[in-house]
């Protein structure tokens, strides 16, 4: 259960106005452990004097600490940086934007969600393939390996495949598995959610998951080749117009 009251209090104390703040991380992905922290992500709007002046700009603001006995991490990007990341085929920001766990919103947030559908391209597959490779390396690094990075591997690959097929962002591994029906995922999620954050796997399981990892990477590549998504973002002008309208009132 997400403590939205706690998260809204944190968002309300942000030094800049927020376009939105949402919950990311394990809570978004559908496998929070009993001791999982809160990962909040969002977009802030710098004051005009700061965004236009010569002094260093707070493009990214990070706040972390213990709140109510829970570790909380809030990271926001200035609206210009966030829009630029959307145009660079960054899957992270898409997932933050479309997270169903909304802590704070605004009319501009709703408009951005409509515009950003035109940012999705077949080349987002590179983001998901690269993130999966990083998590697979983390999984193989530990002995015995941990459940957490393995679940990240599967979540990322399934999100990427689903995005290539539909153009829709879905980051929850349980909902994704309603489509993919991988019989082992439910058990992995249970192990992660009902135990500590560093739950481990037995060594004999590694070969099976190696084969599944390679199979799903190939599946992602095939879906990207056959995807009807465009090669380039088609929302640049709309993003620019929204950015100007957000900046002008300040």
Give the integer Cα–Cα distance in Å for 199 and 17.
Answer: 39
Q: Quickly state the pLDDT bin for 7 (edges 50, 70, 90).
A: very high
pLDDT tens digits, one per residue of 212-250: 999 999 999 999 999 999 999 999 999 999 999 998 864
Same domain, yes or no, for 237 and 220? no
Cα–Cα distance between 219 and 212 in angstroms, integer? 10
Would you say residue 198 has pLDDT above 70?
no
pLDDT for 110: 97
Of residues 184 and 201, more confidently modeled: 184
Q: Are residues 82 and 152 in the same domain?
A: no
- Do 73 and 97 belong to one domain? yes
- Whether residue 8 sits in one domain with residue 104: yes
Same domain, 164 and 237: no
Model confidence, pTM: 0.92
Does residue 80 share a domain with residue 93? Answer: yes
Q: Nearest Cα to 44, choosing from 58, 28, 34?
A: 58
Range of the domain at 29: 4-119+233-247
Mean pLDDT of 95-110: 97
**108 and 161 fall within a common domain:** no
Kindly state whether residues 111 and 32 are assigned to the same domain: yes
Residues 191 and 240 in one domain: no
Please give the tally of structural domains in the chain: 2
| pLDDT one-digit tens code per residue, 49-88 | 888 887 888 999 999 888 878 889 999 999 999 999 999 9
Query: For residue 28, is pLDDT > 70?
Result: yes
Kindly state whether residues 130 and 113 are assigned to the same domain.
no
Q: Are 176 and 158 in contact (CB under 8 A)?
A: yes
Q: Are residues 30 and 69 in the same domain?
A: yes
């Amino acid at each position: 259960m997400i403590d939205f009251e706690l998260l809204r209090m944190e968002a309300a104390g942000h030094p800049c106005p927020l376009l939105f703040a949402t919950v990311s991380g394990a809570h978004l992905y559908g496998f929070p452990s009993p001791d999982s922290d809160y990962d909040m992500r969002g977009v802030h709007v710098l004051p005009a004097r700061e965004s236009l002046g010569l002094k260093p700009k707070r493009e990214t603001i990070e706040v972390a600490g213990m709140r109510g006995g829970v570790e909380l991490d809030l990271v926001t990007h200035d609206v210009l940086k966030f829009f630029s990341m959307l145009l660079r085929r960054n899957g992270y920001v898409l997932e933050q934007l479309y997270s169903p766990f909304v802590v704070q919103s605004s009319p501009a947030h709703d408009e951005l969600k409509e515009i950003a559908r035109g940012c999705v391209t077949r080349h987002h597959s590179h983001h998901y393939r690269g993130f999966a490779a990083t998590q697979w390396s983390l999984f193989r690094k530990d002995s015995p390996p941990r459940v957490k990075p393995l679940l990240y591997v599967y979540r990322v690959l399934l999100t990427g495949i689903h995005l290539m097929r539909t153009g829709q962002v879905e980051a929850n591994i349980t909902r994704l598995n309603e489509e993919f029906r991988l019989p082992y995922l439910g058990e992995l999620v249970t192990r992660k959610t009902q135990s500590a954050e560093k739950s481990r796997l037995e060594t004999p399981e590694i070969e099976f998951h190696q084969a599944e990892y390679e199979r799903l990477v190939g599946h992602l590549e095939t879906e990207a080749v056959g995807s009807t998504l465009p090669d380039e973002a088609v929302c640049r002008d709309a993003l620019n117009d929204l950015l100007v309208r957000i900046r002008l009132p300040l």
